[in-house]
Amino acid sequence: MLTMYSTPWCGYCHRLKSQLDREGIAYEVVDIEQDPEAANFVMSVNGGNQTVPTIRIDPAGGGAPIVMTNPSITQVKSALAGAGVTG
C-alpha cells in the first residue's frame, strides 16, 4: 500500500501523482492540511517540517514502512519492488 501525504497546492505532489497514474501505480492521497494526524506524521519523519510529497509504503506481509520525501518515480518503483508491493 502506497500513501502520499500531500497538499492541494503542491506542484511536486501533482507531478508525482501524474507519474504514478501514468505507471498504473495505485496510491491513496492524504491532505495534511485537512488531517492533523497526517501532518504530525509528516513532521515526525521530516525534522519537524511539513514537507510534501512524503510517501509511505507498507511492505507486503508487514514490516517497517518505507518513508521517502519528494522521491522520483524511479525511487518509488524501486521501493515498491523491494517491499514486495505491486501496482
Domain annotation covers residue 87: no
CA distances from 85 to 1, 24, 82 (A): 7, 13, 8
pLDDT of residue 82: 86
Amino acid at 84: G
pLDDT at 87: 61
Rounded to two decimals, the pTM is 0.92
Mean pLDDT in order along the chain per 10 residues (87 residues): 96 97 96 98 97 94 92 96 80
Residue-number span of the structural domain to which 19 is assigned: 2-82
Q: Give how many domains the chain has, as a whole number.
A: 1
Does 32 map to a domain?
A: yes
CATH of the domain at 72: 3.40.30.10
User: Taking the CA atoms of the chain, what radius of gyration do you get in angstroms?
Assistant: 12
